[in-house]
Structure 1
Amino acid sequence: MLELKGLSKSFPGVRALDDVSLRFEPGEIHALVGENGAGKSTLIKLITGIYQPDRGEVLFNGRRLDFRSYRDSLAQGIDIVSQEIQVIPESTIAENIMLDKMVTRGRTGIIDWAAVNRRARFYLDMVGLPLAPDTVIKRLSAAQKQLVQISKALAADARVLLLDEPTSSLTEHEAHNLFGILRGLRDKGVTIVYVSHKFEEVFALCDKVSVLRDGRLVGTERIDNLTQAELIKMMIGRDVTQAHMGRLDAEGGREMLRADHAVRKGKVEDVSFAVRAGEILGFYGLVGAGRTELARVLIGEDKLDAGTIFVRGEKACIRSVADSLERYGIGYVTENRKEEGLLLQSAVSTNITITIWPRIANRLTRAISRSKEVAITRGMIDSLSIRATGPNQRTEDLSGGNQQKVCISKWL
């Protein structure tokens, strides 16, 4: 059994966790839910030694754990599937999965690459990722990297498995496959902690749910005893009514973006679509179906090999991401914010305003107006309810959900 007693953790200007006590039982899938910034990811990182608590303790089977690093956690059979993409881009899929479990030829210390690839292939098949184990990671989409991370955790044969938003990049098909794997692990006695914002997943998969709000534990209940409305009330502290947002009528809207027989060799094959002003067009498909690849072509990140793109009825020649924004007014919220969407070491204000720096720069000196930058950032923080200490807070110190809001803000 994994037990938390009085855990507290603070960061500059923010109390992330305040006196949280919880128990996670073997053979159980225990959901952890809460709004953005509630403390879910911080709790996971405290359990695995990535962070150290200011107060409180973590016990495993009655013995106090004093982890100083993630490596200590792995040694005790406690592993994590992180919300963020955590891979080595220049290495192969097999190397990422088997990094701390390399197979050698007897006592020679020479790596048996055939055996490493075979074992990696076994876990890739479990998660349904049909790629060769020797494929270099940097060529993969965010969803494929997420499946590699899950494969790595499964290969660790952990006694406690912590999953932080594991389906954030996955389609329903891949998510359902993952649920089957997790149910099998539960039946073998593994303790599973599952962090999610998706209530459908929580009710379909989990046995219990604990709710965090503003860093404090609101309560723990069996899923069978709760409705979605009751769970929402626990999360936000009030009842929520479904407000009617009006009907979407885009039939008479101006055509804003159209693709005619777009081709990116090996990635996108003969794709045509049109989207009008006021319309929301969704693209759905399994991992590797070409959704991200199509988006990268539309913003000029990848070259269009054949076909034509039209913006507001006129033929477009989009050569780069800067071109798509400055000439055509097209923004792109990536599925992989850590590697592609944010400057994590920089301030929130830098990330939100970077797309409009030319507009807020002094015409003569080209210096960015700090007052305009701060005013715009404060407006976005208020509009999107971003939980930050202010415009100057470092972006990597925000919760994952609030980082995503910053990623969206720069395009708004």
Structure 2
Amino acid sequence: MTDVALKIENATKRFPGVLALDHAALELRPGEVHALLGENGAGKSTLIKIITGVHEPTEGTVWVDGEEVTFKSPHDAMDAGIGAVHQERNLIPRFTVAENIMLEAVPTKRGQVDYAEMRRQAEYWLSELDLDIDPDLPVQRLSVAQMQLLEIARALSLKSRVLLLDEPTASITEHEVQVLFSFLRKLKAQGVAILFVSHKLEEVFEICDRVTVLRDGKNACTNVPISDLNRDGVVAHMVGRDNALSDLGHRAPVDAPTKLELKDVSTRIGHSNVNLHAKKGEVLGFYGLVGAGRSELARALIGADKITGGQVLIDGKEAKISSVQDALRKYQMGYVSEDRKGDGLILAHSVADNIGVTIWHKIAKFGGFVTDTMQRKSVRGFVDRLEVKTPSLQQTLGNLSGGNQQKVSVAKWLAAETEILIIDEPTVGVDIRTKGYLHKLIWEVAEAGVTVLVISSDMPEIVAVADRLIVMNEMQVVGDLPNSRDYDEMSQKIMQSIVGASDLKESA
């Protein structure tokens, strides 16, 4: 085994109007977890796509096990022993869980697909990640968090010598993170070289051995032992200065009328007797393990799924929401989806189009006509406010980094001037500085009188940003907790709510 499993030198990638990578370098060793860090747009995902054959570098060299290689496609990279979990999901919704896991290594018997063996192997990889999912279930019926874990299971099934993980914990909870980390440690002991991309620095310090930081497409630090750095040092490399982070500060208790109330709400997807309320200007947080039903409840509230019983009250009056358009135009309710690329954004359209879509009906001239000039004028302030890094408002959204796409998904609902805003996984794929900015923005929006419902799988985030916490488990509300913002105290109360509900169900 060589001392270096993968080496990148002078990796440069140019796109129209964008220099995404500028002579970047990276070195992965067998039996280590190596962190690749940087702000949104720093070039992390571009570097991974070069390593995995999605992009060819404009300049630069890739070595695998000491030999120079040129990848013309992802299959070339897989043949060289490189597996990856990309930020963008690459699952086939109509295929089953088992078919997706074994897609790159379909077992056969006498020239035919061996479905029994496929199911057996899929069950093994699901069990390795402690995933209780039926292998025969179509992927389109999974939650976003389950899809994230399924992507990881598929990458693991390839038994790669080099494993690249781009934001693998973005949509999963602490329990799932620890299961994943346990398996990564097992792979590390087997000599696998692992590249770990994350904006969650606490995870980086827990699991990683060395770190490389990119800033503006260049190396800010390269192959540094994690033991030589602290949190402030990493942040300074990422943003180019010390003290880039600031605490959220104090937020006074909300004393206002109830804006949104759910009474005994049931949904087609399986919720029953859901009762909760949110005040005007309150930040109401939602936490729960994978499959708890938080995102599904949000989709039912905005008319994207069916409410089958109970009442939804807005300003004390029953609301009948039959579509997303109803939610926005009749009740000023918006939803920043956790699946920004599937539900929230149109990647082939411009930045301006993606933000402007929620306000076309407001800015349209007689006859419904909207000019590009009108739209740009209406959205420019929101692009500036959220510091979206884009060459122009006409830039195709798919050419921006994942974090900047997330900013656009928030910007379009701020432009719509909603009175109730549901934000699902607000900082998935967002760098640490932008994460702090978005947290402050949530508070600013709430202080302006907007009722904000925040769904997050990141427990420190939900404890930091929410005024009150709704805990869900198996499609039901199992806790309604005042938030002291003391993480140790609140994390214990949250888990007690979940465990207590599970124990009660088992005893029944």
Which residue is equivalent to 2:131?
129
Which residue is equivalent to 1:411?
413
Which residue is equivalent to 2:121?
119
1:254 has 2:257 as partner = yes
Which residue is equivalent to 2:51?
47
The offset of 1:128, in angstroms, is 2.1
The letter for the 2-side match of 1:247 is H
Distance across 2 between alignment mates of 1:343 and 1:208: 37
The letter for the 2-side match of 1:400 is G
Q: What is the DSSP-based 3-state SS (H/G/I as helix, E as strand, rest coil) of the residue aligned with 2:119?
A: helix
Q: What is the aligned counterpart of 1:4 among 1, 5, 8?
A: 8
1:88 has 2:88 as partner = no
Q: What is the aligned counterpart of 1:287 among 285, 290, 293?
A: 290
The offset of 1:131, in angstroms, is 1.3
Q: What is the DSSP-based 3-state SS (H/G/I as helix, E as strand, rest coil) of the residue aligned with 1:268?
A: coil
Q: What is the DSSP-based 3-state SS (H/G/I as helix, E as strand, rest coil) of the residue aligned with 2:183?
A: helix
The letter for the 1-side match of 2:410 is I
Cα deviations by residue, 1:331-363 (Å, 9 ceiling, x for unpaired): 111111111111111111110110111111112
Distance across 1 between alignment mates of 2:227 and 2:403: 27
Which residue is equivalent to 1:237?
240
Distance across 2 between alignment mates of 1:265 and 1:351: 30
The offset of 1:282, in angstroms, is 1.2
- Inter-CA distance 212–242: structure 2 relative to 1 (3 Å threshold): closer
The offset of 1:270, in angstroms, is 1.8
Ranges in structure 1 where 5+ consecutive residues have no aligned partner = none
Query: Where in structure 2 are the equivalents of 1:161-310 lying within 5 Å?
Result: 161-220=163-222, 221-240=224-243, 243=246, 245-310=248-313
Distance across 2 between alignment mates of 1:150 and 1:278: 38
Distance across 2 between alignment mates of 1:208 and 1:125: 29
Q: What is the DSSP-based 3-state SS (H/G/I as helix, E as strand, rest coil) of the residue aligned with 1:355?
A: coil
Ranges in structure 2 where 5+ consecutive residues have no aligned partner = 415-508
The letter for the 2-side match of 1:283 is F
- Inter-CA distance 7–244: structure 2 relative to 1 (3 Å threshold): closer
Aligned length: 409
Which residue is equivalent to 2:455?
none
Cα deviations by residue, 1:103-156 (Å, 9 ceiling, x for unpaired): 222xx2112211111110111111222111010011111111111111100100
The letter for the 2-side match of 1:9 is K
The letter for the 1-side match of 2:106 is M
Distance across 1 between alignment mates of 2:51 and 2:269: 42
Between 379-388 and 154-163, the greater mean CA deviation after superposition: 379-388
TM-score normalised by the chain length of structure 1: 0.97
Between 348-357 and 261-270, the greater mean CA deviation after superposition: 261-270
Cα deviations by residue, 1:303-334 (Å, 9 ceiling, x for unpaired): 11111111122211111111111111111111
Distance across 1 between alignment mates of 2:324 and 2:116: 41
1:16 has 2:20 as partner = yes
Which residue is equivalent to 1:140?
142
Distance across 1 between alignment mates of 2:250 and 2:311: 32
Distance across 2 between alignment mates of 1:306 and 1:250: 32
* Paired residues of 2:235 and 2:244 also in contact (CA < 8 A): no
1:63 has 2:56 as partner = no
The offset of 1:243, in angstroms, is 4.2
Q: What is the aligned counterpart of 1:110 among 109, 112, 115?
A: 112
Which residue is equivalent to 2:78?
74
The letter for the 2-side match of 1:197 is H
Which residue is equivalent to 1:342?
345
Cα deviations by residue, 1:220-259 (Å, 9 ceiling, x for unpaired): 3211111111111111111116545453234312212111
Which residue is equivalent to 2:433?
none
Distance across 1 between alignment mates of 2:70 and 2:245: 45
Q: What is the aligned counterpart of 1:333 among 332, 336, 347?
A: 336
